[in-house]
């Protein structure tokens, strides 16, 4: 199987996938391309070290071609997303699955429709449980809710990507019990550890589902 991985930052989840490819968890599977929307994403270094082709897909370049107005920004995002889909559809070989691993750009139907039309699955890592803390800063918002006594646990999920943010069907989830007096940094460290296992398991289950349909 072939994976394309989308990143925006450190790439620790990308690293987990790199390390798992061709292991018993992800047999006959390789990452053929890594795309980042941030030039300085350390994940790009990780890809290069693993000899994986990379692309920096730059939203700023699109915004410069349009007026800085709501409709201008909308036009830039539409072009950005449809060009991102074209970039992936032009890859040879095309990926079976696109894995969003710490990818911090909302993917619109301009991206999702052509990709779905080509039969390519898109999955995403989100550090919260289904229906909770959608969007950015999920770990911190869970930590705040715990301090207010509103929750006792949070978690991590891998889910199908749909137009609504962090709302697609969950593929796999794992709960993370919260600890009294724990710092946000410690909780983040524990959650990232869970992410690294779950991103591999979520990808494995997705590939199994593709295999069973063949």
List residues with catalytic annotation.
126
In the complex, what is the shortest distance from the CB of residue 45 to ligand GRF, in angstroms, rounded to a whole number? 12
- Kind and range of the H or E element at 34? strand 30-36
In the complex, what is the shortest distance from the CB of residue 83 to ligand GRF, in angstroms, rounded to a whole number? 23
Residue 103: strand, helix, or coil:
coil
Question: How far apart are the C-alpha atoms of 2 and 12, rounded to whole Å?
Answer: 19
Q: Which two tokens stand for residue 158?
A: 């891998």
Q: Which two tokens stand for residue 148?
A: 């207010």
Q: State which residue, 84 or 157, has the beta carbon closest to ligand GRF.
A: 157
- Letters for 43-82 (x = contact with ligand GRF by CB under 6 A, - = none) are x---------------------------------------
Q: How many residues bind ligand GRF (CB under 6 A)?
A: 15
- Letters for 179-198 (x = contact with ligand GRF by CB under 6 A, - = none) are -------------x--x---
Q: State which residue, 194 or 210, has the beta carbon closest to ligand GRF.
A: 194
In the complex, what is the shortest distance from the CB of residue 178 to ligand GRF, in angstroms, rounded to a whole number? 16
Residue 199: strand, helix, or coil:
helix
In the complex, what is the shortest distance from the CB of residue 75 to ligand GRF, in angstroms, rounded to a whole number? 26
From 29-37, 61-69, 97-105, 162-170, give the range in contact with ligand GRF by CB under 6 A: 97-105
Member of 4, 5, 12, 96 binding ligand GRF (CB under 6 A)? 12
178 contacts: CB under 8 Å, gap ≥ 6:
142, 143, 146, 151, 152, 153, 154, 187
Member of 127, 155, 168, 202 binding ligand GRF (CB under 6 A)? 127
Beta strands across the sheet bearing 153-160: 54-56, 30-36, 2-7, 97-100, 121-126, 153-160, 170-177
In the complex, what is the shortest distance from the CB of residue 92 to ligand GRF, in angstroms, rounded to a whole number? 26
Question: How far apart are the C-alpha atoms of 139 and 2, rounded to whole Å?
Answer: 30
104 binds ligand GRF per the rule CB under 6 A: yes
From 27-35, 100-108, 143-151, 175-183, give the range in contact with ligand GRF by CB under 6 A: 100-108
Question: How far apart are the C-alpha atoms of 133 and 171, rounded to whole Å?
Answer: 17
- Kind and range of the H or E element at 76? helix 70-89
Residue (of 33, 44, 47) closest to 4 by Cα position: 33
List of residues contacting ligand GRF (CB under 6 A): 7, 9-14, 43, 101-102, 104, 125, 127, 192, 195
């Amino acid at each position: 199987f072939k994976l394309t991985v989308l990143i925006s930052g450190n790439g620790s989840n990308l690293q987990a996938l790199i390390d798992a490819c061709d292991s018993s968890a992800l047999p006959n599977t390789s990452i053929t391309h890594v795309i980042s929307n941030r030039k300085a994403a350390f994940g790009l270094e990780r890809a290069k070290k693993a000899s994986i082709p990379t692309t920096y897909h730059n939203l700023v370049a699109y915004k410069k071609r349009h007026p800085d107005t709501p409709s201008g920004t909308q036009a830039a995002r539409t072009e950005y997303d449809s060009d991102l889909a074209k970039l992936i559809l032009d890859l040879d070989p095309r990926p079976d699955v696109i894995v969003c691993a710490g990818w911090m750009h909302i993917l619109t139907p301009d991206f999702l429709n052509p990709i779905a039309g080509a039969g390519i699955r898109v999955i995403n890592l989100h550090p919260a449980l289904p229906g909770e803390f959608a969007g950015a800063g999920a770990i911190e918002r869970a930590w705040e809710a715990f301090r207010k006594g509103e929750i006792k646990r949070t978690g991590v999920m891998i889910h199908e990507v749909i137009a609504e943010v962090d709302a697609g069907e969950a593929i796999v989830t794992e709960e993370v019990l919260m600890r009294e007096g724990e710092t946000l940094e410690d909780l983040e460290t524990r959650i990232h550890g869970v992410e690294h296992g779950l991103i591999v398991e979520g990808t494995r289950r997705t590939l199994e589902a593709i295999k069973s349909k063949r």
